[in-house]
Structure 1
Amino acid sequence: MTSTHAPVPPRQQAGWWRRPWIVPLMLVVAAFLAFSVPPYLTFDPAHSRLKPPEGNDLYYPLLVAHVLFGAVAMATACFQVWPAFRARHRTGHRITGRVYVYAGALPAGVLGLYIGWHTVAGPSVLVANLVGSALWLAITIIGLRMALLRRYDEHRRWMSRSFALAMSIALSRVINIPAVIVLTPQVDTAFGGNEELMRNTATSIGVWLSPLLLLLLTDWILERRKPRARRPAPKAAALAA
């Protein structure tokens, strides 16, 4: 994402209307950020959607920074996966790519490790957040390295996976809704009347399932877009035999 000197395949020269998913994607990201970010712009811990651990004064300011860096990553990632923007505005692609990496994914991922380690939502959410943040960092760094080595096809594949992980936070919020609906009738049985434990379990389902689903979907799309090897013509095949 940080460099695009490679020739652009003809299929990437199409306008946005040839990739109708880009507009819904941007609308979803805009709606998610409009809902998630404003409470943290007040810098008031009372408005935080995540319960801070007791006695940890560092948690909330780092959470705010994590949210803001994550917002930058999500916003710039949309332009990175937009084929028409990537093909027609290569300088813009390089600039937004650097912003995505250095002012988005990397700082948000590092802070995510701290936020995940100090979560009060239980051990399953803790491990899921640590694994997700570590994967995001590792995959983004690999993608960046592929760009620096001018291995652009591999760069795009790894950055597509980085994009999937950047978007997993939004999907996890969506998954939480049916998870809570399904688990609520079991509060008095499976959770012993502990509603907080039930909600933590629903959160755990979201943070584990969302990156897994998006990574699987991303790799399925990448495999479908691989150029297929052409079968040799009958005459050439006969001569080769």
Structure 2
Amino acid sequence: MTAADDRRRLLFMVTVEPKPATRSRAKIKPPLIALMMLVVAFLGYALPPYLGLDPAQARTLPPTGVSYYYPALVTHIFLGSIALLAGCLQLWPWLRERYPQVHRWSGRAYVLSSVFGGLAILTVSTVTYWGPNQQAANTTLGVLWVLTTIAGYVKARKHRYAEHREWMVRSFALCFSIILNRAWTTVCTVFLVSDGNDYAQLAQAIGVGSWLSWIVNLLVAEWWLQHTRVAKRVR
């Protein structure tokens, strides 16, 4: 075999054989599968009472005399559902690499639903039934969700994709609080409420749960982003 034959054989191997890293990215990782299953299960539980647009079926107590509360609540719930589903697609590396056009359109769906879903939170957050603590938590959440989403979108438009990714991770962490809010509220109710008929105790527990539902998510997201930055520097 001549030297030219060796070069052709090497060129063929480099061109044809897939890289191991590409094969690994093509797989759906177990954490992403678990995340998708959790989102679908949550939506299957949370959405049905609102599909008929009947205020009497709402799980959230409306404040007295606030006519716009239910329409804004339903808007937030529907847009939040779209954001959760679109966010899961955005986290799927194989979809991003194999079908970038789908990634872009699901990204646009995420941005629009997150921004207007966040604004819907701000519409109702100051009049929620459980008082100032929950109102402050939900208002802060709405502001941060809108701002982080817009920041991620702006970075993408400037082709600063590493920063875009980090801001969208923060945005989705805030979006995901809608799922964990129930869990944190349950935990806080168990530890902070001794009398289930005491409004003040319930309001305090629900307010603390509302804060924890997004603060913990954001802290975990920041830890993960820092961890991935360090891992990249080490490599």
Measure how far apart 1:210 and its partner are.
Answer: 1.7
Q: Residues 89-108 of structure 1: CA distance to partner in whole angstroms, max 9, x if unpaired?
A: 21110000001111x10110
Preserved contact between residue 145 and residue 174 of structure 2 (Cα < 8 Å): yes
Preserved contact between residue 12 and residue 83 of structure 1 (Cα < 8 Å): no
Measure how far apart 1:36 and its partner are.
Answer: 1.0
Structure 1: gaps spanning 5 or more residues = 1-9, 188-192, 231-241
For residues 208 and 21 of structure 1, what CA distance do their matches in structure 2 show? 25
Max Rg structure: 2
Tell whether 2:195 aligns with 1:195: no
Counterpart code for 1:61: P
Preserved contact between residue 193 and residue 205 of structure 2 (Cα < 8 Å): no
For residues 89 and 154 of structure 1, what CA distance do their matches in structure 2 show? 21
Q: By percentage of residues, which structure has more helix?
A: 2
User: Residue 222 of structure 2: which of 219, 224, 228 is its match?
Assistant: 219
Match of 1:209 in 2: 212
3-state SS of 1:225 partner: helix
For residues 36 and 169 of structure 2, what CA distance do their matches in structure 1 show? 16
Measure how far apart 1:16 and its partner are.
Answer: 3.1
Match of 1:235 in 2: none
Preserved contact between residue 118 and residue 142 of structure 2 (Cα < 8 Å): yes
When residues 43 and 12 of structure 1 are mapped into structure 2, their CA distance, relative to the original with a 3 A threshold, is farther
User: Residue 39 of structure 1: which of 49, 52, 70 is its match?
Assistant: 49
Measure how far apart 1:84 and its partner are.
Answer: 1.9
User: Residue 60 of structure 2: which of 45, 50, 58 is its match?
Assistant: 50
Tell whether 2:48 aligns with 1:16: no
Q: Residues 57-99 of structure 1: CA distance to partner in whole angstroms, max 9, x if unpaired?
A: 1111111111101111011100111222222221110000001
Match of 2:144 in 1: 135
User: Residue 27 of structure 1: which of 27, 30, 37 is its match?
Assistant: 37
3-state SS of 2:193 partner: helix
- Runs of 4+ in structure 1 off by over 4 angstroms are 10-13
Counterpart code for 1:214: N
Q: Residues 148-172 of structure 1: CA distance to partner in whole angstroms, max 9, x if unpaired?
A: 0000000000000001000011111
When residues 112 and 92 of structure 1 are mapped into structure 2, their CA distance, relative to the original with a 3 A threshold, is same
For residues 53 and 89 of structure 2, what CA distance do their matches in structure 1 show? 29
1:1-241 aligned at under 5 Å gives the runs: 10=21, 14-17=25-28, 19-102=29-112, 104-185=113-194, 187=195, 194-226=197-229, 227-228=232-233
Measure how far apart 1:139 and its partner are.
Answer: 0.5
In the superposition, the TM-score normalised over structure 2's length comes to: 0.86
In the superposition, the TM-score normalised over structure 1's length comes to: 0.84
Structure 2: gaps spanning 5 or more residues = 1-20
Matched residue count: 213
Counterpart code for 2:31: W
